[in-house]
């Protein structure tokens, strides 16, 4: 479910961005990529009660 909130993959070293739906682990510069989320979408669709029992 959390995958639907992914915005993009981002390199912390050079700032390059990648499509989160393509299997990519490293940036062209060699740095590991970080997952960035659409937090506005998470906030609008996720409730605290969704975490109970998770």
pLDDT at 28 over 90: yes
The model's pTM is: 0.74
d(CA 33, CA 14) in angstroms, rounded, equals 10
pLDDT at 26: 98
Residues in contact with 10: Cβ distance below 8 Å, sequence separation at least 6, in sequence order: 16, 17, 18, 33, 34, 36
Domain chopping of the chain, boundaries: 2-51
Closest by Cα among 30, 1, 27 to 9: 27
pLDDT at 54: 57
């Amino acid at each position: 479910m959390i995958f639907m909130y992914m915005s993009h993959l981002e390199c912390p070293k050079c700032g390059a961005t990648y499509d989160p739906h393509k299997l990519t682990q490293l940036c062209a510069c060699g740095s590991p990529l970080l997952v960035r989320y659409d937090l506005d979408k998470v906030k609008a669709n996720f409730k605290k009660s969704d975490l109970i029992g998770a």
